[in-house]
Amino acid sequence: MNRTEIKKPSRQVIVLNKVRAFFSKPQNTILLLFGIVLTLTTFVPVIAIVNDTFAIHPGTIDAHLTKKVTGYSVVNYVDLFTSRLAKSNLWTPLTNTVLLATFSCIVSILYGGIFAFLVTRTNLKFKKYLSSIFIFPYIMPQWTLAVVWQNVFNSNVVTGTSNGLLAAMMEIYMPKWWCQGLFPSALVLGLHYAPFAYILIGGIFRNMDANLEEAATILNTPKWKTMLRITIPMVKPAILSTILLVFGSSMGSYPVPHYLGLTTLSTKYISMNSKYTGEASILAIIMMVFGVAILMMNQVSLRSRKSYTTVTGKSGQISKIDLGKTGKSVIAFIFIILTFFTSIFPIISFAFETILPNPGDYSFLYTGNTGNLTSKWWLTRDNIAEKGMYGQQGILYNPTIWNAFKGTLYVAVCCALLAGTIGTLIGYSVSKNRRSKWANYVNSVAFLPYLMPSIAVGAAFFIMFSNERINLFNTYALLIIAGTVKYIPFASRSSLNSMLQLSNEIEEAAIIHGIPWYKRMLRIIIPIQKSSIISGYLLPFMTCLRELSLFMLLCTQGFIVATTLDYFDEMGLYAFSSAINLILIIMILISNSLVNKITGASLDKGIGGN
């Protein structure tokens, strides 16, 4: 061998060789590319929003206070934190937000956790039906339950609106704290996120080694003590990750506090945005700080989680707790009623609202006269003759609604395709380079938007892409970018999880055979992991269909369905918004069950990821 010739290669050759070796692995290319792209899409909007808090906006409070039209100042901070309005603009919303997020966590963990325990560890009846109906509230738009709450409990006497079902039918007037404010908001959000808790906690219960509890039983430990000292500590990681997810999500929720009349940072942001632009941006930053704090807690919890992974081995059969002959039916019955109200009643309620002649006119229910029902909201084609509709055509013929639907579908499909593909690729690459710091960084950056309150992410994108230089406001492009960035975590988590389960040797065997990368993905990896990869596409799609908080700042009313809803609400056409809700829910449910039937993929696989 001619060693002397190759002994001293030039530096250039060495660098070139190293670069070539680096890019010969597709996962490196993917990580490098998305690392840069995601850093830009995640951090640049944040920088833009920080910049916005110092900038002076003509025609707003900061311009008024500084008497300048351009330039920078700290007046926004000074004014927000110290002025007379500080209490109503900052401290009250902040307290409300934290309280709302905390109580939502408690509600979702209690409700979802107890349900998870009952389904996985006891001999409850009707498990199959219950567990599928239980996740409905998460699939449906957040505001569904809020609107239903209004439809049921509002009354003219207490809230000054049209009478709700209870008031109209039984003349029961619920007190104000029940109808509006913190209590209903926290309850509604808690119920909305309870499926999270159910899926995460249930996952651990399902895989938990029953021997651990049996060992305690043999040592003659009372049942309650076993529960307290062994079972609950075991699910602590799942509880923790539920808290992280629910806390961040409920903080950034706009529609629920909006409908239920609670002032939080997100509703305040919207109301302050036009006159107090700079100060509103500070609110967004406060929300982001919470998001980052949650991400850090998440990292810490992930590290400590490792000590628990040993218990999730799939050994042994789980010993089921006997609830007693009556117990198992009675408890099941209670849950059937509860889930009826959270999952099925909203659909019925919305459907019913669309055939009422006037909002709150429930006369059909006590007269039984079908003349008290109407189909005008659906079928009117003539937009002049029918007076109560403000010149709108019936739902079935209304171009605004159908255009909004098309828009929503378009955005959802694009977001799902982009987020699903990018997320899958990131998950794949991270699983290949698990030891590399860069891979972990990319993974975290991809995950960060998920923990950021959506309204803050929306605000950041609004400031970034809707100014004099770049104006993407009210374009599909902007919505798709924002949606993609926000939903990549769904796909990257589920794909990372499934890729980690796939033995490396499967792909290495293909590498050895000289099979090119794209073919390995298409013919081997994706077919094997198809169900979790599909749920990586499915989750962004469904979430996108019903997203309001993220998109509301980025487009006008009527651009997508969620913002159209608001438009009709403001006009007082409640039948229209109910119909839109109805169509949305049914569309989501149909697409969910369709995908489930065809591919076997289901939502819970994606959310359960960590």
Partner 1 sequence: MPDIKLTNVTKRWGKFYAVDNLNLDIENNSFVTLLGPSGCGKTTTLRMIAGLETPTSGRITIGDKVVFDSEQGINVPPNKRKVGFLFQNYALWPNMTVYENIAFGLSNIKEELPIYDFSFKNTVKLIEILKNDQEVVKLIRECIDKNNKIDHNRVLIKLIDVYSISESTAKALFGYKIHEVKDSRTAAKQIIDELTKKADEIRAGYSKKGQELNEECAVTEQGKVITTVRNLSKEEIDLSVRRVAKIVKIGMFMDRYPAELSGGQQQRVAIARTLAPEPTVLFMDEPLSNLDAKLRLEMRYELQRLHVETGSTFVYVTHDQMEAMTLATKICLINNGILQQYAAPLEVYNKPNNLFVADFVGNPSINFIEAKGKQQEDGTICISMLDGIKAVFVPSAAVNLQKWFEERDASEDEEILIKQKALQDKRYVEKGNKDEAFKYKITKVDNYELDMEEEKVITDEDFVIGVRPECISITEDGAIEGIIYGAMPTGMETTVKIRVGDFLLTGVIFGNVLYRIGAAVRINISSNNITLYDRKSGKYIVSGSIQIN
Residue number with CB closer to partner 1 (25 or 376): 25
Residue number with CB closer to partner 1 (336 or 515): 515
Contact pick of 84, 368, 505, 518 for partner 1 (by CB under 8 A): 505
Residue number with CB closer to partner 1 (351 or 521): 521
Residues in a beta bridge with 72: 55
Q: Is 381 in the site for partner 1 (CB under 8 A)?
A: no
Residue among 7, 271, 241, 216 at smallest CA distance from 105: 241
Contact pick of 336, 515, 571, 583 for partner 1 (by CB under 8 A): 515
Residue number with CB closer to partner 1 (171 or 508): 508
Q: What gap in Å lies between CA 570 and CA 315, rounded to an integer? A: 56
Burial 392-411 (b: 16+ CB within 10 A, else e): bbbbeebeebeebbebbbeb
Q: Which two structure tokens, joined as six digits, stand for 247?
A: 């806390």
Contact 409, 391 (CB under 8 A): no
Min dist CB 34 to partner 1, Å, is: 21
Contact pick of 71, 516, 572, 600 for partner 1 (by CB under 8 A): 516
Q: Is 14 in the site for partner 1 (CB under 8 A)?
A: yes
Q: Is 5 in the site for partner 1 (CB under 8 A)?
A: no
Min dist CB 519 to partner 1, Å, is: 7
Q: Is 1 in the site for partner 1 (CB under 8 A)?
A: yes
Q: With contacts defined by CB under 8 A, how many residues of the chain interact with partner 1?
A: 30
Instruction: Identify which range of 261-269, 303-311, 507-515, 566-574 contacts partner 1 by CB under 8 A.
Output: 507-515
Contact pick of 128, 437, 469, 513 for partner 1 (by CB under 8 A): 513
Instruction: Identify which range of 15-23, 137-145, 229-237, 358-366 contacts partner 1 by CB under 8 A.
Output: 15-23
Q: Is 509 in the site for partner 1 (CB under 8 A)?
A: yes
Q: What gap in Å lies between CA 592 and CA 586, rounded to an integer? A: 10
Half-sphere exposure of residue 597, counting CA atoms within 13 Å on the CB side? 6
Residue number with CB closer to partner 1 (325 or 513): 513
Residue among 344, 346, 351 at smallest CA distance from 378: 351
Q: Which two structure tokens, joined as six digits, stand for 29?
A: 């290319």
DSSP string, 154-195: --HHHHSSS--HHHHHH-----HHHHSSHHHHHHHHHHHHHH
Q: Is 15 in the site for partner 1 (CB under 8 A)?
A: yes
Residue number with CB closer to partner 1 (15 or 586): 15
Q: Which residues within the stretch 384-443 sit at the binding site for partner 1 (CB under 8 A)?
A: 435
Q: Which two structure tokens, joined as six digits, stand for 19?
A: 């670069």
Contact 278, 57 (CB under 8 A): yes
Burial 341-350 (b: 16+ CB within 10 A, else e): ebbebbbebb
Instruction: Identify which range of 288-296, 309-317, 396-404, 523-531 contacts partner 1 by CB under 8 A.
Output: 523-531
Q: Is 160 in the site for partner 1 (CB under 8 A)?
A: no
> Which of the 8 DSSP states describes residue 517?
H
Per-residue binding letters, 454-493, with partner 1 (x by CB under 8 A): ----------------------------------------
**Residue that is written with structure tokens 């939080």 in the block:** 264
Q: What gap in Å lies between CA 264 and CA 101, rounded to an integer? A: 10
Q: What gap in Å lies between CA 8 and CA 171, rounded to an integer? A: 93
Q: Is 379 in the site for partner 1 (CB under 8 A)?
A: no
Residue among 339, 313, 311 at smallest CA distance from 112: 339
Residue number with CB closer to partner 1 (371 or 514): 514
Q: Is 4 in the site for partner 1 (CB under 8 A)?
A: no
Q: Which residues of this protein are in contact with partner 1, per CB under 8 A?
A: 1, 6, 9, 13-18, 21, 24-25, 435, 503, 505-506, 508-516, 519, 523-524, 527-528
